[in-house]
Amino acid sequence: MAEQALTVAPPAPPPLTYRDRLAQFRILEEKRYELIEELLEKLEKTEARLTQTELDLQSEQNVRRTLQNEVVEAKDRENALAAKQARRPFVLVLVDADAEGFLFQDKYITRRAQGGEALADELLLRLREYLRPLYEDAETLDIVVRVYANLEGMANYLVREGKVRNLGQLRACSTGFCGRISSFDWVDVGVGKEGAAARKVRENLSFYASNTHVRHIILACSPADVPPTFLNTLPLEKTTIVETLPLPSALVALPIKTTKLPTLFTPPPPSKSPKVRGRNAPQLQLSQQEDPDGGATWLVIRPERSKSQGAALRRRAGGRDGSEDEDSSLSISIGPDNTVSVDGGRRRRIMN
């Protein structure tokens, strides 16, 4: 039994020869060289990436420094521009005095130079009142006013209305207006193409709209001269239209400010039928009636006379019945066959 429990040990391997041991060393050396080559290759790639990263970082730093310099320069320019703008900001006021509804009141234009000076003072006062709620520095803002008008045409109209005697009175008013305040000008556009004053207003708007010194623009002109398509090219947030007549719906729909200056401008009077001027001139009445016989339309013109004129005519009639003279009239009728008949009392004329 003891003999069976004993195990037989395996035979010992033969000892390695020197060549075998040298072959093993060679394999180990090759593995070590391969490892060193792999490590060196990775190191070279890492160093190359590190060099590129350093170059990129340096480039980014240069770009950042350039941008920082540009930002600093831009801020300096902005501050300089803001400081420059803050020195002389101004409000531009453009008036087309030829437009309907923008004729200055009689108390100004009929008083020669004194009226012009009073007009300038009143305009400045009302503009300050309007600007105070809009700007904190309204009292220090310069106000530049340009009034454009055809003085000769305006003077002719005022002479016909009996408000001035000649062009010289109106020129004296404009001279007083200009001389009162240095930034107020009344420009005579002269006798030329119709709408010259409106064209001046539009040209000034186009020129000053992009001016950085303009704080606000106030327009006193006909809405037809500044249509919505033109106003949309302007900074509407700092534009105001002076209203004397109801504005068209296209302008009301725009985000634009409006104001009224009733102490300056006289709204146009309602249209009246033309009358013959002169103290003793007869006043004519025009009436219309249908002729029941031929369907003709009769236009009857009857002269209105005062009692004294009627009495004088009756005396000249030499005792004739005055009713004929009082009822005398000029009748013009157009018949169905397009014939025209003119009946002037006792004389009648028919034209085909």
CATH code of the domain in which 101 resides: 3.40.50
Tell whether 74 is covered by a domain.
no
200 and 124 in a common domain = yes
Tell whether 222 is covered by a domain.
yes
Q: Which domain holds residue 191?
A: 88-266
Instruction: Please tell me the predicted confidence (pLDDT) of residue 270.
Output: 59
Tell whether 69 is covered by a domain.
no
Instruction: Please tell me the predicted confidence (pLDDT) of residue 25.
Output: 81
302 and 248 in a common domain = no
For residues 176 and 23, the model is more confident at 176
Instruction: Please tell me the predicted confidence (pLDDT) of residue 209.
Output: 85
- Global model pTM greater than 0.75: no
Which 8-state DSSP code applies to residue 254?
S
Question: What is the b/e burial string over 306-327, where b = at least 16 CB atoms within 10 angstroms of the residue's CB?
Answer: eeeeeeeebeeeeeeeeeebee
295 and 258 in a common domain = no
Q: Give residue for tokens 């080559």.
A: 37
Cβ atoms 161, 109 nearer than 8 A = no
181 and 98 in a common domain = yes
Tell whether 149 is covered by a domain.
yes
Cβ atoms 100, 211 nearer than 8 A = no
152 and 111 in a common domain = yes
Tell whether 192 is covered by a domain.
yes
The whole-number average pLDDT for the span 244-268 is 86
236 and 98 in a common domain = yes
288 and 262 in a common domain = no
From 198, 231, 266, the end of a domain falls on 266
The whole-number average pLDDT for the span 304-333 is 47
Paired sense of beta strands 257-259 and 347-351, if any: unpaired
Tell whether 119 is covered by a domain.
yes
341 and 220 in a common domain = no
Tell whether 95 is covered by a domain.
yes
336 and 242 in a common domain = no
The whole-number average pLDDT for the span 298-311 is 45
Residue 47: how many CA atoms within 13 Å on its side-chain side? 6
pLDDT at residue 326 greater than cutoff 50 = no
299 and 167 in a common domain = no
For residues 48 and 336, the model is more confident at 48
Q: How much helix, strand and coil, in percent to the nearest 5, is found in the chain?
A: 45, 20, 35
The whole-number average pLDDT for the span 129-156 is 92
| pLDDT tens digit sequence for 102-138 | 999 999 999 999 999 999 999 999 999 999 999 998 8
Instruction: Please tell me the predicted confidence (pLDDT) of residue 186.
Output: 94
Tell whether 43 is covered by a domain.
no
The whole-number average pLDDT for the span 338-352 is 52
188 and 160 in a common domain = yes
Instruction: Please tell me the predicted confidence (pLDDT) of residue 23.
Output: 81
Number of domains in the chain: 2
293 and 174 in a common domain = no
Cβ atoms 123, 184 nearer than 8 A = yes
pLDDT at residue 282 greater than cutoff 90 = no
